[in-house]
Structure 1
Amino acid sequence: MPPLIHEALLIGFKEAAKAGLVWLVFYSYLVVNDRKNFVKPFYMGLLVSFLIVFMSQFLPSDIVTKENAGNIISMSFALFLIMSGAALFHVSGTNMLSISASGYGSTLPEETQVPSLKPAAWGIIVLLFTVIFFAPDGMGSLLQLRELSYIKGRGSMSYISALIGVAVVAAVLFTVVGLYKPYKIGGFFDVPQLLLFLAMVKLFGSGAKEFAELSLLPSVQRGFMKFAHDFVHQVFLFLMVPDHPLLKATFWNFIGIFFGPDFASLVSLIILLLFPFMFLYHSLRETLPEPETRSVAEGRKIKAFILSGRRKRALPVACFIVLILIAWFSRSEETIMQMYLPKPIPVVADRGVVMIPVRDPTMNVMDGSLHKFSVSYEGRQYRLILIKKWDNTLAAALDACEMCPPEGYGLRDDHVVCIYCGTPIPVNTLGLPGGCNPIPLAFTIEGGFVKIEIHDIVKKWGFIKPLQGKESMH
């Protein structure tokens, strides 16, 4: 038998581990809460997901398909994260045992009761959520396996390797469940915790960029940081009054800290953990409701039951917070040295036009890497960048934006990164103005040369100023 393809084996192992973990937690939750009638919709959702993944093999193998698959995976994570946040916010300070504490349901105060949907509606929700969770990841994994088959030139061996990985995980899971029957873990979960658990599994096990990123955390971190950076920028533009006497240069230099990577990372982390922290605070600090009972002893028993349930259901949320903090700050240790920072290549302006060869013996601007150039004009130096986008078109821009001091950009993975503030910008958005995006330049390609008007470079470079006055924000 030919040797296994290790990358494909890892894909099968990872996908099976995610599916097994989700099945174990969800099934345990149903067992503890006596709701095993929802197992059937879950299995139906798995079947529908399998059919969707199978049909995805007929999709074209190109960069656009891979990008769309990655976007769908990211959106499915965002859906579970938003819904878990909304659910945690909704139940903060209320009894989390409205489903499982059926024995005490009639004795609890009315405000602690959470209305439940009809079983048929819950069944449809379970089926839909199962499809939303598994189908995008399965499609992404199938695309990876198909690409591995092409790269390795070994036909179906990548699929066989992945199936072996699935079989190994399945054997371990069935052995553990058969020996230990760990269904008591279901007592730590209710609907909000289940949604948060699904979001966490997505975050740490659903990398959308193959083996360059085995989890979604880098993509989520980049997205949150860009959102925080652009939001702060728009707030300052909206609030600042032009020519106000108090807006001195020192003040504008001070607010530069709001555009740094540390501030953006902190804001992003607050956004991500706000609702989990609110839930923990209310669950552990909120005063217990006074049950309507016939005896003090029975009341104490019910309050102890509620408190125990709150603590148990707070544990998954606390674990989520700890994992996020550890992973987030370990990712934050990436330094600028990990970026690709090419040195600018000198070019000249001939008759008002900068001409850069598309390809020569030393470079090819269509190779997908970041290319920097510098041009001297009337005693000043100007920097510009060229890079091929995912749709095989070229983007030309200044090596600076309108918001930050002109320290330029580096390349990390499929993002250009502002060296000053650390904001990641997807390569496919280059050429679009606004935010921390590089200022776009108009260009033409003629006779094997990229042609850019020097007056356009000079004019747009005038938009760039260090943070020493209010003009730097415009």
Structure 2
Amino acid sequence: MFESFVIMLREGIEAALVIGIMMVVLKRTARRDLESSVFWGLGLAVLASIGAAFALNRLPINEEAYEGTLYMVSAVFVASMMWWMHLKAKTLRMEIEKLVLDTIGRASSRPSLKESWGLGTFAFLMVFREGAETVMFLSAVNLTTDAVLSFVGALLGLTLAVIFCVMFIKGSLQVDVRRFFAVTEWVLGIFVAQLLINGYHEFSETGVLPATQASMAFVGPMVRNNSLFILALIALPLFIWFTQEPRESKLGSGASEVEKRLARAKTNRERNYRYGAMASALVVLLFVGIVYAKELVPKTLTVPEPVLREGDFVVIPLEKLADEKMHRLGYPIGERMVRFLAMKTADGRYRTGLDVCRICGDFGYIQEGQNLVCLNCAAEIAPITLGHSGGCNPLPLESTVKEGKLLIPVQALESQAPKFHAQPALEEIDPVCGMRVKLSDAAAFETYEGRTYHFCSIKCQNAFQADPSQFVK
């Protein structure tokens, strides 16, 4: 539940922050006539997200190319908004005064078609960018307890993002305009950087942009650990609210008691919105900070589980994969340990793949939640794509199911051995006789209390099975 809550909060808070900035700018520059364009963009984005989620599930669409395109297009729009705000900040005071005078003298003119379409498209992209994945996430719920809790957590995350957006708008209306524009330029700059990095990561997985092990190792953690971007995005506006009190309404000396009460009520209302904005921002920082702290914990590969060979095949009993978790297995070939992955996925199929990637090499994968994650570039891999080529997916590995066993040809493993680094120390000490045994020459192995022991002969294995505690120190 907590994981889905934070995922939806992180996805929603980015769109909420940028949409909030747009609304504040429109209000502060007396262009509320353009707000309807923003709302139209938001509404169309929700409908388009539902349609895109259907298309991604049913049609042969390359998800990485789809996401990469949205990231890059969104980056262009956000960058254009940032540049516009940079130019406006220099002449803002004169323009606001002129707008006020024009409003007093005559009714404001209707917004141009270019302005309406521009703002509507911008709002559309900010929501649609992650909308399809959000719809897919929420629609995948079933009636198990874990799934329902995950669904509730996701809704709570989206709710908190919306609350933050409302409080951001209300709490920023009385902030000094120049300071607001200066800080939001930094916010949007960070956002542009995040979009470009994500776009490169997705396009590199599809092969559209060149990628190396080093480049993916550089951008991967930024894509995976995007909590740092969220923390920076929230911390900047929080700084404004903490460092500036709302301004008191100025009244002339002849103001009536009613006017004074209304002015005091307005000031108190603005102060309460400011406190609400700070409180919602601190809550977001707390939850995202917890996840960021978890992301900083180093992740390492587990020791591969040994496998048995029967004739020309490596054999894995199907009951071993019944837990529907990723299993890392290893078969020693000379000085190399050929690691491969096997698991039973939610559709009931048994899938296999090498623990190596075309781009990143043999860094390997771990399982986090439902997805597999590359330890080099942090790409998330859906289990149902295990065994499919492309992107940062584990390289395909031939396998068949027969008589309650998963069979993998030894020849297939031997042909892939060069993809793994040599490890001269691939040997263990037989706990019974003390003899050094090369893993590739071991006669048998046993797992006891989470550790695997290798034996030089069946005789040593039998002695160990009779009383393991006698040989384990």
Structure with higher Rg: it is 2
- TM-score using structure 1 length: 0.50
- TM-score using structure 2 length: 0.50
The structure showing larger relative contact order (alpha-carbon pairs under 8 Å, at least 6 residues apart) is 1
